[in-house]
Structure 1
């Protein structure tokens, strides 16, 4: 068994690539000398908002509450890769559930049907069966 020693010539390319990576991935140091963050200012309290800002916030809240109250329960009919995008919409990153959109498996439980993907001639008879169902 032989012992291989590393010389500085063997380490030099690795050190150069490490230095390049460190030079790219650095942040600008802050101008303050203390490492602790300053406490948040109290000047931005909710009572100090202007009247137009309060009006906009209340209207946005009303809109979101209306959307949640009248949220739809769609039935998914995935035909191609678009169905994967619909699955992503229901997953944790985009989370349509927070808006009240709950994907349902049957037409009896759903308000509308989302046909995601290209409708081919072979799939048209299956979709025509759902045409007869009244969602409302």
Structure 2
């Protein structure tokens, strides 16, 4: 496990899964990879396949239509995979709490390693959260 965590500290491949979002969080994620914040200089990059990902980044409220897709993505991800819930909807389903169609916050569906709350969270908060997650994982692995 420490080998995998050591590899994570060098580069981080992130797969973004959007669960019926309003797209505000998605816009902020895109802002994080543009030249203003340029997370790729830290080795963090978005990938197009969950099979190449170290991190599953989830935005939006998990509803009945996408709950099976999120479970399947988590199962297909190479282990160990870190899961990050981004935005108020993924963290606590704050806006859709009483909706008949939602299945609860993300941590009721799959295990979550990091919560980045906000509607939407700022790119700086996302970057700081990912850095703290990597530091915590490295410390836990004994590195």
- Normalising TM by the smaller chain, what interval? 0.3 to 0.5
Q: TM-score w.r.t. structure 1 length?
A: 0.45
Structure whose CA Rg is larger: 1
Q: TM-score w.r.t. structure 2 length?
A: 0.43
Flag the structure with higher strand content.
2
- Whose relative contact order is higher, 1 or 2, with alpha carbons under 8 Å and at least 6 apart? 2
Flag the structure with higher helix content.
1
